[in-house]
Amino acid sequence: MIDHPEIRDVIRRALEEDIGSGDVTTAACVPAGQMASGRFLARSRQVIAGLELLPFIYAERGTLDELLPLKTSGQFVEPGETLALVRGHARTLLECERVALNFLQRLSGIATLARQFADRVAGTGCRVLDTRKTTPGLRRLEKMAAAAGGITNHRMGLFDAALIKNNHIAAAGGVRQAIERVRASGLEIEVEVRTRAELEEALAAGATHILLDNLTPAEAAAEVRWIAGRAKVELSGGIDLDNVRAYAETGADFVSSGAITHSAQATDISFRLELESA
């Protein structure tokens, strides 16, 4: 998955965006043949993600003499730990520095937040899902980071699973009609319901996966008890680190939170360059 064309393309575009017609500062300050080594350092406690991108980033600008990852995605790291070592032309290392750090910091931030969510629900039997609330163009990478943090990826897009929501129900003319029309796709179907009547209609129509949105934990627990295992249940809406445990303890099979990808704070990672003697 890491060598997916979408990922290679976003790396290429990120480098083009940053370097443009050339790194004028590096070209002026660093001789063309100067060799150097560098290390990526964690400056905060975090779950690392994105190190797999480094070979592809540097490959866009030339070759390296050495690239040695010392950690893997999903690992906790402490401040001061070295994440990866690189060696090559100093100009290449400097040209790629910011793009590499941007990817590592963003993806590690998602992995770190995902791990916090996963830890909060430990022992409940409930799994945390991510959502499609991702940075445009970065969904594949951000979902990889979320998985590295220990949560479960939901659908990648509108094409690989069916989720019938309130607007679909309105357009189809009802819950049953929507389910019957989507069933022909052959995909897994999840139905969002807003009322007990819609829930009853969904179950009667054979729904096997129900989404309950914007309920309190007490309200959600009552609905889960009423469903009594007749369908898998996902809870969403306003779920954060402070309340995710309460929602997980309702007996639901899944809880989902868009915050994992849309509100993760980038972690602190730095790059240290050392020039080599001629």
Q: How far apart are CA 99 and CA 61, in angstroms?
A: 12
Same domain, 255 and 219: yes
CA 72 vs CA 48, 84, 108, 111: distances in Å: 7, 10, 11, 12
Q: Are residues 133 and 107 in the same domain?
A: no
What HEC string does 7-55 produce? HHHHHHHHHHHHHCCCCHHHHHHCCCCCEEEEEEEECCCEECCCHHHHH
Domain coverage including residue 31: 5-112+265-275
pLDDT in 10s for each residue of the chain, 278 residues: 788 999 999 999 999 999 999 999 999 999 999 999 999 999 999 999 999 999 999 999 988 999 999 999 999 999 999 999 999 999 999 999 999 999 999 999 999 999 999 999 999 999 999 999 999 999 999 999 999 999 999 999 999 999 999 999 999 999 999 999 999 888 888 999 999 999 999 999 999 999 999 999 999 999 999 999 999 999 999 999 999 999 999 999 999 999 999 999 999 999 999 999 86
Q: Are residues 255 and 270 in the same domain?
A: no
Question: Given this model, what pLDDT does residue 69 score?
Answer: 97
Residues 257 and 270 in one domain: no
CATH number of the structural domain spanning residue 21:
3.90.1170.20
Domain shared by 107 and 130, yes or no: no
Catalytically annotated residues: 98, 133, 165, 192, 213
Does 238 lie in the same domain as 144?
A: yes
Residue 2's pLDDT is: 81
Measured at the CA of 231, the angle between CA 227 and CA 234, to 5 degrees, comes to: 90
Token couple for 176: 């049953």
Does residue 73 sit in the same domain as residue 23?
yes
Judge if 12 and 59 occupy the same domain: yes
Q: Are residues 161 and 184 in the same domain?
A: yes
The CATH number assigned to the domain holding 224 equals: 3.20.20.70
Are both 159 and 68 inside the same structural domain?
no
Q: What is the pLDDT of residue 30?
A: 96
Total number of domains constituting the chain: 2
Same domain for 123 and 98? no
